[in-house]
Structure 1
Amino acid sequence: MRKVIVVQASVKETKIEEFLKLGKIMVNKSLSEVGCLTYKLSKDLNKENDFFFYEKYENEEAVESHNSSEHFKEFINSVMPLLTKEPVIENFNA
């Protein structure tokens, strides 16, 4: 069964540019993963410092592979200090 993940990230106003650079790298690397169907980063229309990742995978194994990848771990370590709060993560079957 396909999996969809939506992540909301609230970024410190002074760190948006840095977050976007890291996010672009994350999107590009994630799209090259086996089993990753879609990986997008979008800005909230109503809040200047809120962003969303939209991710779609072939199956749970592809999600697990993504979450254990080096680029994912590096991204998390780099981006967490840029956020105002813990990201909100929602998982769906598609």
Structure 2
Amino acid sequence: MKKTIIAQLSIQETKTEQFLKLAEIMVNKSIAENGCLAYKLLKEVDKENEFLIYEKYENESAVERHNSSEHFKSFLDSVLPLLTKEPAIEKF
């Protein structure tokens, strides 16, 4: 069964450029993963530092592979200090 994840991220205003560089790497590596159907970074129209990551996978196994990948772990380590609050994550 296909799996979709939406993560809402609030980035410190002075860290947005740094976040975008990290996110570009994350998107490119994630979309190349086996089982990843979509991986997109979206920006809120009226808020400069609010972003959504939209992820779609073939199945739960693909999600697990993604979550255990080195690029995912590295992204989390680099991005968590840039956030203004806990990310909101929804899974469907």
For 1:57-68, what aligned pairs fall within 5 Å after superposition?
57-68=57-68
Residue 47 of structure 1 corresponds to 47
Moved beyond 4 Å, runs of 4+ = none
Q: CA RMSD in A?
A: 0.5
Residue 47 of structure 1: CA displacement?
A: 1.5
Is 2:6 the counterpart of 1:6? yes
- 1:24 to 2:30 alignment: no
Q: Which amino acid aligns with 1:75?
A: F
TM-score by length of 2: 0.98
Displacement of 1:48: 1.5
Equivalent residue runs for 1:76-87 within 5 Å: 76-87=76-87
Q: Which of 41-50 and 27-36 deviates more?
A: 41-50
The TM-score with structure 1 as length reference comes to: 0.96
Give unmatched runs, 5+ long, in structure 1. none
Q: Deviations over 1:53-85 (max 9, x none)?
A: 000000000000000000000000000000001
CA distance in 2, matches of 1:8, 1:52: 5
Alignment identity in percent?
67
